[in-house]
Amino acid sequence: MSHRFQFVDVFSEQPYSGNPLPVFLDADGMSTEEMQKITRWMNLSETAFLLPPTDTRADYRVRIFTLAHELPFAGHPTLGSCHAWLATGGKPRRETEIVQECGIGLITIRRTKSKLAFAAPDLIRAGPVDEADLDRVASALQIDRKIIVDSQWVDNGPGWVAVLLESAQAVLNVEPLNAFPTQIDIGIVGPYGSGEDAAFELRAIYSDHQGVMREDPVTGSLNASVAQWLLASGRATAPYIATQGARVGRSGRIEISQDSAGVVWVGGSTRSMIDGDVTACFGPERQ
């Protein structure tokens, strides 16, 4: 069976420098097991599968898979899926606003002439991190617990716990373990000094389905929830630029803004890199 397919580069203004997203445009007929199998074969942080919406207010529906499981929401798959849907002829109900349906509900996406931005969803889990969890985080990152300036649960779907370090350079210096025995999703954030182009450096460290520690190149969900935390706590003011991906050879650039209603918007560049068809075969009955 043939499926329309795009590979989208998300959150970088330079080609092949953001977070790549495989998008299957017509995933009707694929089972959950097949979507998960394709995602593991792709071996990237997430793969997106587009379907007709079930909510009449939505323009399209997306299912997002990691190597381990399905996610109710993720950031770069939101922007990448929207880009692919528009690029292949999708027509939103409103010219400058697209509504995506996903596991956590409806996500509003705005478009300008050159970029997309999504409205940060409400957090599933927020609040302080207990010492036992902070000890696990410090162990996974191979850092002294004492260098964590602050921490917060910032889970909007993937399960993020965020730790604030004293500087962007301290974030870049972290050398996490190669493997960790339990599931863990860590966001690390540190401020740049005054006069720098970016306000914060972020890194996203997580364990995959085999316990291997990986680093996501550029992470929309983490930037969204960290921005909500930093803005609410007074540690940041909007608009600001965050950067991510330097340690894995990427140059992610995330634009954070906040509207008059207090909604945080997470935006960046998107670009189609590969456009074509993929033949997915799952046994003789599906060939």
* Residues 90-119 pLDDT 10s: 999 998 899 999 999 999 999 987 899 999
Kindly tell me if the per-residue pLDDT of 79 is higher than 50: yes
Q: What is the pLDDT of residue 283?
A: 59
> Under a CB-based contact definition with an 8 Å cutoff, are residues 97 and 106 in contact?
no
Q: What is the pLDDT of residue 217?
A: 96
Task: Single out the residue of 34, 87, 37 nearest to residue 60, CA to CA.
Answer: 87
> How many CB atoms within 10 Å of residue 11?
33
Query: DSSP per residue over 186-246, as a string?
Result: EEEEEEPPTT-S-SEEEEEEEE-TTSBEEEESS-HHHHHHHHHHHHHHTS--SSEEEEE-G
DSSP-derived 3-state class of residue 136: helix
Beta bridge partners of 162: 152, 187
Kindly tell me if the per-residue pLDDT of 281 is higher than 80: no
Q: What is the pLDDT of residue 284?
A: 52
**Burial degree of 152 (CB within 10 A; 0-12, 13-18, 19+):** buried
Q: What is the pLDDT of residue 97?
A: 96
Question: What is the spatial distance between Cα 62 and Cα 49, in angstroms, rounded to a whole number?
Answer: 6
Question: What is the spatial distance between Cα 205 and Cα 227, in angstroms, rounded to a whole number?
Answer: 17
Q: What is the pLDDT of residue 12?
A: 95
| Token digits of residue 217 | 């190149």
pLDDT tens-digit series, residues 248-260: 999 999 999 999 9
DSSP-derived 3-state class of residue 160: coil
Domains of the chain: 2-121+269-286 (3.10.310.10), 125-261 (3.10.310.10)
Residue 35 is classified by DSSP as H
Kindly tell me if the per-residue pLDDT of 285 is higher than 60: no
> Under a CB-based contact definition with an 8 Å cutoff, are residues 73 and 64 in contact?
yes
% of the chain at pLDDT higher than 90? 92
Q: What is the pLDDT of residue 279?
A: 83
pLDDT tens-digit series, residues 5-54: 999 999 999 999 999 999 999 999 899 999 999 999 999 999 999 999 99
> Under a CB-based contact definition with an 8 Å cutoff, are residues 258 and 237 in contact?
no
Question: What is the spatial distance between Cα 184 and Cα 190, in angstroms, rounded to a whole number?
Answer: 20
Kindly tell me if the per-residue pLDDT of 216 is higher than 60: yes
> Under a CB-based contact definition with an 8 Å cutoff, are residues 152 and 145 in contact?
no
> How many CB atoms within 10 Å of residue 4?
16
Beta bridge partners of 242: 200, 254
Q: What is the pLDDT of residue 287?
A: 41
Handedness of CA 60, 116, 223, 26 (dihedral sign): positive
> Under a CB-based contact definition with an 8 Å cutoff, are residues 100 and 58 in contact?
yes
Strands 60-65 and 97-102: parallel
> Under a CB-based contact definition with an 8 Å cutoff, are residues 111 and 86 in contact?
yes
pLDDT tens-digit series, residues 153-199: 999 999 999 999 999 999 999 999 999 999 999 999 999 999 999 99
Q: What is the pLDDT of residue 95?
A: 85
